[in-house]
Amino acid sequence: MMLQVEALRSGYGRIPILAGVSLAVAKGEFVGILGHNGMGKSTLLRTLMGYLPATAGRVVFEERDITRLSPTARARLGIGYVPQGREIFPALSVHENLRMGCLLSSRDERRTIEDVLAKFPRLRRLLDRTGGALSGGEQQLLALARCLCGGPQLMLLDEPTEGIQPSIIDEIVEILQALQRGNEITVVLVEQNLKFIAELSQRILIIQKGAITRETSPEAVQDPALIAEFVGMAA
């Protein structure tokens, strides 16, 4: 397994959010995580990235215990993170944002950016524009492209379709499916967009009250009864 999470607990200050999350992700897998708002989806990714300390349990990445490592150390081991809200650098140009993404790339910076731009043609004409001047969808593409510049083995994707226009969601699906076909990367995807998560995930984990309570297939998220019971969203 590339990623193993064992009875992971964490939260904000004294407020516990994750109450013993356990999951395993194999190399090349795309795993979706679904759940109500406030069930701990984003907290799980923030804890996996090292922003929130684990109060119990452990995280093992490529057979190495990374539970106590800083976000920078995790990034250096090959974990990429695309946060909710994109968090691009608003005062840096698109090109500079991509250069920041290349910090961990072992390849030539120019060539890395060229390769990534080939997957994100929309960004090519925006290279000189500041990140803050982009639309939400363009910012999401930039956040994804920036993450891919570092060549991560595992990418943690937090609600990439939130507030994004449908045409760009389709672009994101195509880009991620191309990565999936090429077996280039492993992805843990947190989403509330059921169509998106079903199109991309090989299996879906349902999180409730800070713990994974059920594993299901992408096809099952079309079942309104299951969704109403475990996710609280309309399919």
Binding site for other proteins (CB under 8 A): 49, 51, 70-72, 75-76, 80-81, 83, 87-92, 96, 99-101, 103-104, 130, 146, 150
Rank residues 2 and 149 by Cβ distance to other proteins and give the closer one.
Answer: 149
Residues with Cβ within 8 Å of residue 196, at least 6 apart in sequence: 160, 161, 169, 172, 173
Neighbours of 149 (CB within 10 A): 25
DSSP bridge partners of 136: none
Q: How far is the CB of 26 from other proteins (least distance, A)?
A: 23
Q: How far is the CB of 149 from other proteins (least distance, A)?
A: 9
Q: How far is the CB of 108 from other proteins (least distance, A)?
A: 13
Rank residues 155 and 194 by Cβ distance to other proteins and give the closer one.
Answer: 155
CB 116 within 8 A of CB 69: no
Q: How far is the CB of 131 from other proteins (least distance, A)?
A: 9
**Cα angle vertex 9, ends 5, 15, to 5°?**
155
Rank residues 48 and 204 by Cβ distance to other proteins and give the closer one.
Answer: 48
**Cβ burial, residue 166 (10 Å; 0-12/13-18/19+):** exposed
Q: How far is the CB of 111 from other proteins (least distance, A)?
A: 16
Rank residues 91 and 225 by Cβ distance to other proteins and give the closer one.
Answer: 91
Q: How far is the CB of 119 from other proteins (least distance, A)?
A: 18
Q: How far is the CB of 89 from other proteins (least distance, A)?
A: 5
Task: Give the CA count within 13 Å in the CB-facing half-sphere of 127.
Answer: 12
How many whole angstroms separate alpha carbon 124 and alpha carbon 202? 31
DSSP output for 129-166 = SBGGGS-HHHHHHHHHHHHHHT--SEEEEE-TTTT--H
Rank residues 26 and 73 by Cβ distance to other proteins and give the closer one.
Answer: 73
Q: Is 190 helix (H, G, I), strand (E, B) or coil?
A: strand
Rank residues 101 and 210 by Cβ distance to other proteins and give the closer one.
Answer: 101
Rank residues 72 and 222 by Cβ distance to other proteins and give the closer one.
Answer: 72
CB 123 within 8 A of CB 117: yes
Estimate the share of the chain in helix, then strand, then coil, as percent rounded to the nearest 5.
40, 25, 35
